[in-house]
Structure 1
Amino acid sequence: MIAKKVTGNVVALVVALFFAFPTYWMVSTALKPRGEMLTSGYDLIPFSVTISNFVTAWTKPGFLSALGNSLLVTLSAVAAALVVGLLAAVALSRMRFRGRKGFVMMMLVAQMAPFEALLIPMFLMMRDLDLLDRLPALALIYFAVTLPFCAWTLRGFVNGIPLELEEAAMVDGCGRWGAFRRVTLPLLGPGLVATSVFAFVTAWNEFLFALSLMKDQTKETLPVWLSGFQTNFGTDWGGAMAASALFTLPVLVFFLIVQRKMVTGVTAGAVKG
């Protein structure tokens, strides 16, 4: 029994190190002076540390505007996708109507469609509607991209909540909306948090639509701004790694803000106080 436990812990540690190494490599490279990056070998622990690469990334023109643009389109798209996806998930889980299974299958197909297949029709539609170089149009596309995932995932969480809890609340005097708001919605806290994190990462990292639809440099997002470190004269690896580290901070902050709800939402609303 002890041997199995030790083996499981060792395997888990190896897997964790495997997935954590790219992040460590990014941060350690960002802290290295330019001369140490061009050596033939790679030192896991930098002998000298500098923050000049972070200064270069922070002071690179367009960083703050790209950060604001990414936050605007990502947060608005994720918030809208969560609201609409939650309503769709409740309807698909609790209601019985003609064509429900076909709609669920269509939603799954839409989720599986690659971004590249949607680029040309999206571009033509936005061009015809005169929505190119407009941040609301990009937020609308991110909303359309993340909505199937949000609805599909939240449907599974709603299915996991017994319908009897809502029925018991309605027996106690709550209406259908009151039972959903007081019982089901608090229990969906972990599902909403997990879905919002994955939707946020998807929209935050999106590059193709932002590059194709936003030609104005004042409207570019952080993934497009990051590509500016690669020029015809070479790649500034130190600045690129430092900018990538800064790029991951909003995702980390977002997760730290919402991760508490994954615990508090498990039991809230399950019993009547």
Structure 2
Amino acid sequence: MTALATRALVTPARRARRSPASPVRRPAHRILFNVLGVIVFACSVFPVYWMVNLSFTPGNQIISRDPSVVPREPTLRNFVTAWTRPAAPGQTDFPNALRTSLLIVLVVVVAALFVAFLASIALARFRFRGRHAFIVGILVVQMIPGEAMMFTVYNLVDDMRLMNTLMGLALVHIASVIPFTIWTLRGFVAGVPIELEEAAQIDGCSKPQAFWKVTFPLLAPGLVSTGIFAFMQSWNEFTMALLIMKGNNLTLPTWLNSFQSATEATNYGAVMAGSTLICIPVVIFFLIVQGRMTGGLVAGAVKG
């Protein structure tokens, strides 16, 4: 009885100490890391906020020496200027530049994922002569900056008579995106055990059926994440687009650069408004793809 009574008295005390209502003391280093995380997040978000803030600020207040965190007289004139007027005489406007960028990005993402998907399967599933040399070659190509090859690429595009064409710039972007997509997708394919396909074949599936019904659903998140990086790399590319495209075929980064003029003052309000407009399609794309990528990861884990 004494032991039972002692246990009955000690148990409520332990429960009281473990109850959620009791205050939890966090270590000092965890609080420090949280504060540092908030500071890094604020430093990352502030340039974006300042860009949006200046896009709603009148031009005479942008160049003033007394900047305001919130626009004192918000206006949409900067967005109207960026949307309707060409950045420079003889250049295209925002809708045409947006159409050009979207067409090029669509072609680049589809073509790069198709070629990289086939190449990654060959590198991860098959053993052939020259396989390791090909992988090393992909890494070497990734290390070479694009600016070092811009004159060679310019001459190649000029020889093929594809200057100032969507196909010419799309081929250049595909060539620059494919090495990274192959390397990334190869890791996803190698991470899926081959035993899953073998088990499906034992259950009666053919080899193509085992791949499309078992392996491909597990690779879908990898395709989505790789497509995101291909999208961003093609969407933000500036150097080759500046060399190849001109006039009415400018992409969005080169269109934004044409706001700068040696004879006229730069309209910084329109530049900030144009930068904000360029970011909107990227944000929409991420909002659409993020949920599908997360859902694909969870579904792949359950199926595996």
Q: 1:214 aligns with which of 245, 250, 271?
A: 245
Query: Which position in structure 2 is the counterpart of 1:77?
Result: 108
Q: Percent identity?
A: 47
In structure 2, stretches of 5+ residues that fail to align are: 1-24, 87-92
Q: Note the C-alpha offset of 1:16.
A: 1.4
Query: Which position in structure 2 is the counterpart of 1:258?
Result: 289
Matched, 1:199 2:230: yes
SS across alignment from 1:50:
coil
Query: Which position in structure 2 is the counterpart of 1:43?
Result: 68
Aligned residues: 272
Q: Note the C-alpha offset of 1:194.
A: 1.6
Q: Note the C-alpha offset of 1:206.
A: 0.9
> Structure 2: which amino acid aligns with 1:2?
R
Q: Note the C-alpha offset of 1:71.
A: 0.4
Cα gap change, 1:168 to 1:25, in 2 (>3 Å) = same
Cα gap change, 1:165 to 1:142, in 2 (>3 Å) = same
SS across alignment from 2:73:
coil
Query: Which position in structure 1 is the counterpart of 2:188?
Result: 157
In structure 1, stretches of 5+ residues that fail to align are: none
CA-to-partner distance for each residue in 1:53-97, whole Å, 9 max, x for gaps? 111111123211111011001111111101111111111111111
Q: Note the C-alpha offset of 1:45.
A: 2.4
The structure whose Rg is larger is 2
Matched, 1:122 2:146: no
Query: Which position in structure 1 is the counterpart of 2:49?
Result: 24
Query: Which position in structure 1 is the counterpart of 2:82?
Result: 57
Q: 1:225 aligns with which of 240, 255, 259?
A: 255
CA-to-partner distance for each residue in 1:23-77, whole Å, 9 max, x for gaps? 1111011111112111113322222211111111111232111110110011111
Q: TM-score, normalised by structure 1?
A: 0.94
Query: Which position in structure 2 is the counterpart of 1:2?
Result: 26
> Structure 2: which amino acid aligns with 1:228?
S
> Structure 2: which amino acid aligns with 1:58?
W
Q: Which moved more, 1:11-20 or 1:97-106?
A: 11-20
Give runs of ≥4 in structure 1 deviating > 6 Å. Answer: none
CA distance in 1, matches of 2:267, 2:57: 12
